[in-house]
Chain A
Amino acid sequence: MIDTLATALMMSTPLLYGAISEMFTERSGVMNTSIEGAFLMGAFGGFVGAYISGSLLIGFIFAIISGVLLTFIYGIVTVKYKQHQVVTGTALNILALGLATFLFRVIFGIPVIPLKVTPLQTIAIPLLSKIPFVGPIFFDQNLLTYIMYFIVPASFYVLYKTSYGLIIRSTGENPEAVDVAGVDVNRVRITMLLIAGAFCGIAGAFYSLTILGLFTSSIIGGRGWIAFAICFLGNWRPYGVLFGALAFGLAEAIGIRFMVMEGMVIPNEFFIALPYILTIILTITRNSFNIPAKLGVPYNKE
């Protein structure tokens, strides 16, 4: 039980990084549909950096660079060239798949045994981790999960209490108002995408450097899209996103737990599909949406 909950928290970490970044870009009016590719680039870049340097820190820096590279291209094509976001995202996701696997081969050739790095370890926080029940769940985690605890309140603060947060929210609602106020709409949107690239890079590297310690081309397996969906489910609000990420993390943890149990009545695949089914049901049944008014619409002056 405690194990499952701790795993749930860990599994929700990358989803939250991705979903929070998606929330910020969507609040500024752009969907980051290259999110799956950005996760993959992060997983790839992170592994390469960490394997070559032997340092996880450098790995994560590489992951950030790889993610940003992809969302930068995405930003140029969708924001500057105003091309369709869904379509561009699809192309970049194919490209990311090709690029990551191709470069992996370029760098490592065809290894005889799978290459591995030592994954990010958990750090038990003295005293706190000794609290019964709560301790092992919340305070025996890895560094990135600890950082996650701060991301949500920080996001809330930035979005609602700062001048730039107001600009971000306004850009998604009415970019013309932002333009007339003397702020460059496209710059705001591209900035959000670059930040999203960094977050998605870390999220992707979380799979290669924290959960598994290795890289395969199927390592992300649709989790970028889960983060994308969580942003919708969280109704574009930081605490909603947190709730969504925790729910999906829990579902994933239960799935892992049932995989190792024999003779289950409910098939394991059901738990794998559950988050997706829930997303569909929630999208259909919810009435009030906080969706940014100009989400997905490029800003045209003339």
Chain B
Amino acid sequence: MKKVIELKNISKYFAKVIANKDVSFDLHEGEVLALLGENGAGKSTIMKILYGLYHQDEGKILINGEETRIDSPKDAMKYGISMIQQHFSLVEAHTVTENIILGHVKGNIDVNECTNKIKELSDKYGFNLNPNSIIRDLSVGERQKVEILKALFQNTEILIMDEPTAVLTPQEITNLMKFIKDFVKGGNSVVFISHKLNEVMEVADNIVIMRNGELVGNVKKTETDEKKLANLMVGRELNQTPTKSISHVVENENVLDMTNVTCVDRDGIKVLNNLSLTVRKGEIFGIAGVSGNGQQELCEAISGVRELVDGKITLLNEDIGSLSVYERIKAGIGYVPSNRHRDAMISDMTIAENMFLKSSFENKWLAGKLIDKEKLNSYTNNKIRDFSIKAHGPDAKAGGLSGGNQQKVILAREVDNGSKLIVLDQPTRGLDLGAINHVHKSIVRESKNGKGILLVSTELSEIFGLCDRIGVIYQGELQGIYSPDELTPEKVGLLMAGWKEEVR
């Protein structure tokens, strides 16, 4: 097979991390090349360099055997390279057509002609998209189709897809895989960035494995298997999925009781629909589902950020439905949100100040009218020790810590705030294995202390390994509540995609 792209010794340094170090590999005509690695392994960075969004600090790029400088996506497009970003880059307020032709037509826009062309293209691949729809109204799966059409509109030969399946349902994933296989048949190439072993094994011809910004393996699919790939990816034998110890007891008393809870978004569309669940003392209750199906809204309804339209929430039999966020914190609810940078911490402030974030109204940190810095610092120091947070002290800026250590800071705080109930939304997303282990241990420890835990996760292994009961969420509704032994991964997959058991 002909080499179309050769990456030679590429290095890229950001201010705080080495994103790529001496990475080299080739892409051939007509192949699907998978870039496999954990979050933060540098997969996206190396592809953004190829696409001209970043520029490498060292190394070179060869296209069709010739050394080439790619300064901007415009250069990349000249060579038929397109990249679909993990978080789509679409203008939400504009139509499908406007998004596709952005930057690719000249002068006056003949809307009808463009629309027809896009309609044709869409029909050819069986996408069934209306070119006049506004992006805002489209589902995630449809948005991805718009991104693909954008690439096809430019007659792309090399398509880079960054974690394309992260937000899709299993059925949508099947369709995507089919498209990729069709697309490369015509001599095109695809780079498929993923951290999911099964998908990589399904779709790829060759697999490049990255870890901590470096290349650790480059293998043919036919010569490897999932276990070997996993070892390469994480650098050691995969941990067993965490399990709860036997001494763990679930009491019969409800900590959290949600009855027929309904919430709406800004446009009045239901994001939680008639949802009921209970979390008992000492119980870990898991919420499984494809992200974006109401998980965040569920957590926010409990923490008090989101108002209830209907239904009731009680904490230890006290109605908390009308309490403010602050009153709920005081009542003993801890919350680790999924988007920690946006919702849980203040990067520009110190660790100590972040510890103080939720207790600024309480007198326990005051000496007179002022904040008791010494007391706060010694508390923070204890937390740094207990949670083995890597930082040089309570005055270190939270933003300067690694993702795992930031999450530990938040966890350390919320474990104390949540004296009754701790809500965790995707607490291990983007963390390395060491930090993940630490989070899992803390969750189990707190449940043993008799707290109720609500754990939202898209990682099924986490849900199966830790939880006493599992609720599957789809479009703001619970598909059912199960004990782990009632479920198989296949059944969960179907429930997550919207299939519902008739009678239960």
Contact = CB atoms under 8 A, between A and B. Distances in A.
Please say whether the chains A and B touch (CB closer than 8 A): yes
Contacts of A110: none
B273 to A, nearest CB: 27
A140 B457 CA distance: 71
B102 A293 contact: no
A174 B108 contact: no
Contacts of B241: none
Contacts of B73: 179-182
Given A163-B109, A166-B109, A180 B89 contact: yes
Nearest to A167: B103
B309 interface: no
B89 A163 contact: no
Contacts of A269: none
A234 B90 CA distance: 26
B106 A163 contact: yes
Contacts of B83: 180
In the complex, which of the residues A177, A178, A183, A302 has the most CB atoms of chain B within 10 Å of its own CB atom?
Answer: A177
Interface stretch (B92-100, B216-224, B369-377): B92-100
Contacts of B74: 182-183
A34 interface: no
A169 B94 CA distance: 9
Contact of B92 (A161, A173, A178, A302): A173
Given A161-B109, A180-B73, A183-B103, A174 B53 contact: no
Contacts, number: 73
B268 interface: no
B53 A184 contact: no
B14 A174 contact: no
A162 interface: yes
B109 A182 contact: no
Contacts of A301: 53-54
A184 to B, nearest CB: 7
Interface string A157-179: 00001110011011001101111
B108 A182 contact: no
Interface string B106-120: 111100000000000
Contact of A182 (B72, B91, B94): B72
Interface residues of B, number: 30
B102 A302 contact: no
B454 interface: no
Q: Looking at chain A's contact residues, is the secondary structure mostly helix, strand, loop, or mixed?
A: helix
Among B77, B92, B99, B102, chain A packs the most CB atoms within 10 A around the CB of B102
Given A162-B108, A182-B74, A301-B54, A173 B102 contact: no
B405 to A, nearest CB: 21
Contacts of A180: 51, 53, 73, 83, 85, 89
A125 B107 CA distance: 33
Interface string B63-102: 0000000001110110000010100011111100011011
A302 B14 CA distance: 8
B103 A181 contact: yes
B104 interface: yes
B1 interface: no
B476 to A, nearest CB: 25
Contact of B102 (A161, A162, A177, A184): A177
Given A179-B73, A183-B74, A302-B54, A293 B103 contact: no
A187 to B, nearest CB: 10
Contact of A178 (B93, B101, B103, B106): B103
Contacts of A177: 89-91, 99, 102
Given A162-B109, A181-B102, A173 B89 contact: no
A182 B79 CA distance: 12
Interface in A182-209: 182-184
A174 B90 contact: yes
**Residue among A179, A181, A184 with the most chain B CB within 10 A?**
A181
A162 B106 CA distance: 8
A239 B108 CA distance: 20
B105 interface: yes
B93 A182 contact: no
A166 B102 contact: yes
Contacts of B107: 162-163
A149 to B, nearest CB: 22
Interface in A244-302: 293, 301-302
A269 to B, nearest CB: 41
A163 B105 contact: yes
Contacts of B101: 163, 166
Given A174-B91, A182-B74, 14 more contacts: A163-B105, A163-B107, A166-B94, A167-B102, A174-B92, A176-B89, A177-B89, A178-B103, A179-B73, A180-B89, A181-B102, A181-B150, A183-B102, A301-B54
20 contacts: A161-B108, A163-B105, A166-B94, A166-B98, A169-B91, A169-B94, A173-B93, A174-B89, A174-B91, A177-B89, A177-B99, A177-B102, A179-B73, A180-B53, A181-B104, A182-B72, A301-B53, A301-B54, A302-B14, A302-B54
Nearest first, the 4 A-B pairs at minimum CB distance are A182-B74, A181-B103, A177-B89, A182-B73
